[in-house]
Amino acid sequence: MPRKTINQIEVASQRVLMRVDFNVPMDDSGAITDDRRIKLALPSIRSVIDRGGRLVLMSHRGRPMGNGYESALSLKPASDRLGQMLEGVRVIFPGEDCIGDDARKSVEALGDGEILMLENLRFHAQEKAGEVNFATRLASFGDIYCNEAFGTAHRSDASMVTVPLAMEGKPRVAGLLLQRELTFLREAIEHPKRPFVVLLGGAKVSDKIGAIHNLIGNVDTILVGGAMAYTLLQAVDHDLGASLVEPDKVEEARRIIEEAKSSMTELLLPRDHVCGKELSHQSPVKVTDGPDIPDDWLGLDIGPLTREAYIKKISTARTIIWNGPMGVFEIPPFDEGTNQLARAIVSATESGAISIVGGGDSAAAVEALGLANGFSHVSTGGGASLHMLEGRKLLSVELID
């Protein structure tokens, strides 16, 4: 259902507490290597400050221990980059504790059109735990709550769920990026143009079981790649060599295959593979002539026959959702399946298809290939996208007015 957005509410002289997703990658020197998530939040940020609002930004970065400040995971570089993007706008960074006295005093002194960036929320273990007292202190920093963090929309962290609960009675709205994410995904899932094709990849079938069950009977074709395919192939008695298989999920995989057979959904598994002896660009390479993999070899990418079959399905699709790479895309030559299918989706998009990349490694792959602009939408949230593919509600979104 549509949610009220930050554009639809008066913000002048009001403190807007906005949960953003500034979990940006950095190199060993502390320099940001990809600032896309900051750029995508700019329309919501400008909506507040251009109308005289007082903006308090909060985010996490990485996976700190939750025992206090860790310099390597500070949000100071993200705050500095935001200041560079918003030339002439003051961005305040009050110190090492997001709920400390310095933060509180800085929030109280915030002026119209100014921005304050709180330090990494996850320096406090209470953030992941959704702890009420921690959330209450954060909630005191805002007159309005804005959720602009689709990347964590599936989580029950304090800033996502407990803070908006603590701000009941105050306006709770969606950021413009969050609204865009929800609109694209919901429209594709609930009202797809057909044929509707979903590509699922990644390491573990266990991560995608819920999505597969929900999609069977609702989509026309599911194309499976990545290591998750090996558990499904074992379920139909293929030899997989030394490939990654989840033995405890084989029976569930067998049920998935049977369920697909009795539905209108076509479930396609790899016909051949590109294999290596080890996970390295220096590994010897073997291309199989069928779905079986020889002993002591690892399946690391879909093979040429599979690529051809999958590209044919993609070429006729009108709605395409992609969640998970087809192989180990970070290590050539095991990136070719992901690369070729990404280019095929771009081609289908140019021919009128709606294409959505469901965040995570798939988004990283298309960004690395320079193809992101060729898709209808590249999501910032792999986990949240998968949640929606499973047909599950996002509690953090349900709390928005």
Kindly list the catalytic residues. 37, 204, 360, 383
Contact 380, 150 (CB under 8 A): yes
Residues 6+ apart with CB under 8 A from 122: 60, 61, 62, 63, 64, 66, 73, 128
Contact 366, 158 (CB under 8 A): no
Distance, in Å, from the CA atom of 324 to the CA atom of 385, rounded to the nearest integer, reads 11
Contact 368, 207 (CB under 8 A): no
Count CB atoms within 10 A of the CB of residue 332: 11
Distance of CA 112 to the CA centre of its chain: 33
Q: What tokens were used for 395?
A: 């509690």
374, containing H or E segment: none
Residues 6+ apart with CB under 8 A from 211: 200, 323, 386, 389, 390
Contact 20, 46 (CB under 8 A): no
Contact 318, 354 (CB under 8 A): yes
Contact 75, 61 (CB under 8 A): yes
Instruction: Identify the residue whose tokens are 């029976």.
Output: 251
Mode of pairing for the β-strands spanning 221-224 and 196-200: parallel
